[in-house]
Amino acid sequence: MTAALHHYQARMRRVLDHIDRQLDADLDLETVSGIAAFSKFHFHRQFRATFGLSLHHYVQLARMRRASYRLTDKNGLSITQIALEAGYDAPDAFARAFRRRFGQSPSSFRTSPDWAPWFAAFAPLDTARTMLMHNPLTQDDVTIRVMPPTPVAILEHRGDPATLDGTIEAFVAWRKSAGLSPLTNPTFTIFRSERRPDNPLEYSVDLCVGTDRPIAAADHPMKAGIIPGGRCAVLRVVHDTHDLERPALYLYRDWLPASGEEARDFPIYCQRHLAVRDDGVGHAPVADLFLPLAG
């Protein structure tokens, strides 16, 4: 990557960071183009060419995603308050826009969210980040940590990855019912198979939340387990946490052979962090990818 291209992409990345931090601010063309120090007469074309969607569409999606986070907090803001915060003059206009995107009303989503259309609706936000070519991963991006054994409650997913969203929804519902907040109880995904096995029925992941509380028969199909302690190579991923295949490939293909380390007999796994702003709204997903090491 040339120095000029790196500088250009850094300016564009600064725009996305500003939008994510300032969703309540005036995010018009003149203001946002100034953040990147680009001419407002060309910036709207530059933004669309770089990210694949217009500035207005990106801001709308970012505000709607925040609104959906708000809705999942049943003890938080009212739907009317959430609508006004999202930039809608009235809750019925917000409800129409929300239903158009997700196929559910805000009240229905608050009670029982359907996550499959949610992930599909916000894919352009995640894709926008991937449109910027990130600097290649290097050995310096990987640290080695000694992790303690972590007791967890596990919900296993076995079979077609197309049904994973349902498993995720069930896991989140159980975690909430058990009073296990991501702020106090870490969440993990253990990848027991390839991301796209030749036979989809061989797809296998474990969804975990850190807890030492007993798992009763009434908690079925949750199971108690332990993520074993030991040395791990750790690679932090910011923003693009929906697809960890690239960083995992780097760990296996590049880092491990060059490090002289040997992989331990436990699958690669990740810990997902609840990245929050001062006002409590998630805006920058973070995941730590752990490759267990021998010794």
Give 247-276 pLDDT, tens digit per residue.
888 899 889 988 999 999 999 999 988 655
Residues of the chain with CATH 3.20.80.10: 139-292
pLDDT band at 279 (very low <50, low <70, confident <90, very high): very low
- At residue 101, what is the residue type? R
CATH value of 139-292 in 2.140.10.10, 3.60.9.10, 3.40.50.2300, 3.20.80.10? 3.20.80.10
Q: What does each C-alpha distance from 9 to 19, 26, 115, 239 come to in angstroms?
A: 16, 23, 32, 15
Mean of the pLDDT values across residues 45-67? 90
pLDDT band at 10 (very low <50, low <70, confident <90, very high): confident
pLDDT of 134 above 60: no
pTM of the model: 0.59
- Using DSSP, state whether 150 is helix, strand or coil: strand
Q: How does the average pLDDT of the chain come out, rounded? A: 88
pLDDT of residue 105: 94
CATH value of 3-130 in 1.10.10.60, 3.40.50.720, 3.20.20.450, 3.40.720.10? 1.10.10.60
Residues of the chain with CATH 1.10.10.60: 3-130
Check residues 214 and 196 and name the one with the higher pLDDT.
214
At a CB cut-off of 8 Å and minimum separation 6, what does 23 contact?
A: 59, 62, 63, 66, 281, 283
Mean of the pLDDT values across residues 33-37? 91
Give 37-49 pLDDT, tens digit per residue.
888 888 888 888 8
At a CB cut-off of 8 Å and minimum separation 6, what does 60 contact?
A: none
In this structure, the dihedral spanned by the alpha carbons of residues 35, 40, 45 and 49, taken in order and rounded to 10 degrees, is -20
**Total residue length of the chain:** 295
Tokens 């970012």 sit on residue: 62
pLDDT of residue 32: 93
In the chain, alpha helices (H) = 3-21, 29-36, 40-51, 55-72, 79-85, 91-102, 106-111, 115-121, 123-130, 164-177, 245-250, 256-259
Give 145-185 pLDDT, tens digit per residue.
999 999 999 999 999 888 898 999 999 999 999 999 888 99
Check residues 203 and 274 and name the one with the higher pLDDT.
203
Tokens 């049904």 sit on residue: 163
Give 66-99 pLDDT, tens digit per residue.
999 899 887 789 999 999 999 899 999 999 999 9
